[in-house]
């Protein structure tokens, strides 16, 4: 539906004619640009669509000031977490994690020939129990990565994972 004049479109939206002028400057579509003594024309459906999209962008979008405030807040949270010991540098953790993973990998890699001998002659339940014990041992080693010794750390750095 085509609306003639700012006053009429303003009445549809329940705003002032000045608001319509501001919205036009912000990008609200005008079907026919008016001039001195000649009212502009507006396609009401296009104007409603524009206003809805604008409001959705406001809700979904983030202006530069809001983004800066969010980033500053994130930075403050990280600093506080670090001060409280809840956040640590990856360089502090990485050697111990690497050593634990290498140690577990070495344990697993050495098992097939040993297990082949140990599993020989066992029934299904026996084989399952032996394998479960091996897997549990490896998982315990991985879960205790913080207690890895210095030798394990040196070994991890000397060999690729």
> Are 148 and 99 within 8 A, CB to CB?
yes
The pLDDT, as a whole number, for residue 149 is 55
Three-state secondary structure call for residue 69: helix
pTM score, two decimals? Answer: 0.39
Question: What stretches in the chain show pLDDT beneath 50?
Answer: 150, 152-161
The pLDDT, as a whole number, for residue 10 is 92
Q: Which fold has domain 2-60?
A: Arc Repressor Mutant, subunit A (1.10.10)
Q: Of the candidates 100, 90, 86, 81, which has an alpha carbon nearest to the alpha carbon of residue 141?
A: 100
pLDDT tens-digit map of 4-28: 888 899 999 999 989 999 999 999 9
Q: Where are the domains of the chain?
A: 2-60, 90-158
Q: Of the candidates 101, 104, 97, which has an alpha carbon nearest to the alpha carbon of residue 136?
A: 104
């Amino acid at each position: 539906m085509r609306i003639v004049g700012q006053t009429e479109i303003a009445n549809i939206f329940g705003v002032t004619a000045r608001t319509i002028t501001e919205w036009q400057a912000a990008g609200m579509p005008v079907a026919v640009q008016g001039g001195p003594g000649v009212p502009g024309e507006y396609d009401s459906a296009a104007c409603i669509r524009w206003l809805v999209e604008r409001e959705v962008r406001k809700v979904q979008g983030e202006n530069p000031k809001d983004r800066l405030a969010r980033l500053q807040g994130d930075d403050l949270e990280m600093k506080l977490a670090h001060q409280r010991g809840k956040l640590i540098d990856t360089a502090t953790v990485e050697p111990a994690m690497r050593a634990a993973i290498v140690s577990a990998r070495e344990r697993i890699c050495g098992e097939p020939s040993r297990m082949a001998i140990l599993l020989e002659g066992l029934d299904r339940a026996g084989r399952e129990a032996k394998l479960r014990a091996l897997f549990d041992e490896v998982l315990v080693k991985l879960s205790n990565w913080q207690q890895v010794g210095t030798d394990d750390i040196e070994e991890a750095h000397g060999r690729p994972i």
